[in-house]
Amino acid sequence: MLADLLKGNIYFTDELPTWEESIKVAAAPLLSKRFITEDYVQDMIKNVQINGSYIVIAPGIAMPHAQNQGGVLKTGISFLKVENSVTYPEDKEVNILFVLAAEDSNGHLELISDLSSLLIDEDVMEQLKHANAEEEVISLINSLE
């Protein structure tokens, strides 16, 4: 499920000026496919402004998300890798982002479950950090299933 939802939502870039910008860029595929609205992007940024960097779920990896207050039209996920890491509040360096858009708190658990398998597999994560094409990311995810 994770691989299916990520297809076409995987992007790579070299550098971004701010963490706010990284969330905007990472969310752009979901925005253009009308999975989310501009409000949801703002909600995700606000979430970090208010609650700090708890969305940095593992060293180097952020999962921007927020509560769905109408900004999520369809459950989805997107991937962005930034070559030179971006600094989040509390001095956290991030170079991989998974933007999560969940319609409600239970409908996407299969997706979360796949994501969890991916993130706790250290070998796969190491390879992910060196991936630089969509096919590579997808085949890494598929290798888990």
Partner 1 sequence: MTNVANFEEHSHTPEKKPSVRAKIQAVGGFLTNMVLPNIGAFIAWGILTALFIPTGWIPNEQLGEIVGPAITYLLPLLLAYTGGRMVAGQRGAVMGAIGAIGLIVGSDIPMFLGAMIIGPLGGYVIKKFDQLIENRIPAGFEMIVNNFSIGILGFGLMIVSFLFIGPVIENVNDAMTSAIQALVQTGFLPLLSLVNEPAKVLFLNNVIDQGIYYPLGMQDTLEAGKSIFFTVASNPGPGLGLLLAFTLFGTKIARRTAPGAIVIHFLGGIHELYFPYVLMKPLTIIGMIAGGMSGIAVFSFFDAGLVAGPSPGSIFAYLALTPRGNFLGIISGVLVAAAVTFAVTSIILKLDKNTDDEADLTSSIAKSQSMKAEGKQLMNFAADTATTQEISKISFACDAGAGSSALGATTFRKKLQKKGISDIEVKHYRIEDVPESSDIIVVHKNLSDRARMAHGDKKIITIESYLNDPSLDELLDQLSKD
Q: Rounded to whole angstroms, how far apart are CA atoms 84 and 107?
A: 34
Q: Shortest Cβ distance from residue 133 to partner 1 (Å)?
A: 25
Indicate whether 100 belongs to the interface with partner 1 (CB under 8 A): yes
Q: Which stretch binds partner 1 (CB under 8 A): 7-15, 29-37, 112-120, 126-134?
A: 112-120
Cα distance between residue 13 and residue 91, in whole Å = 21
Interaction of residue 68 with partner 1, rule CB under 8 A: yes
CA dihedral of residues 137, 75, 35, 44 (deg, nearest 10): -90
In this chain, which of 5, 45, 94, 115 binds partner 1, going by CB under 8 A?
115
Cβ-in-10-Å burial (0-12, 13-18, 19+) of 85 comes to middle
Q: Give whichever of 28 and 119 is closer to partner 1, judged by the CB atom.
A: 119
Of the two residues 32 and 113, which places its CB atom closer to partner 1 in the complex?
113
**Contact yes or no for 97/59 (Cβ under 8 A):** no
Q: Which of 65, 81, 92, 108 is catalytic?
A: 65
Q: Check binding of 124 to partner 1 (CB under 8 A).
A: no
CB of 57 to partner 1, least distance (A): 5
Active site residue 65: yes
The catalytic residues are 65
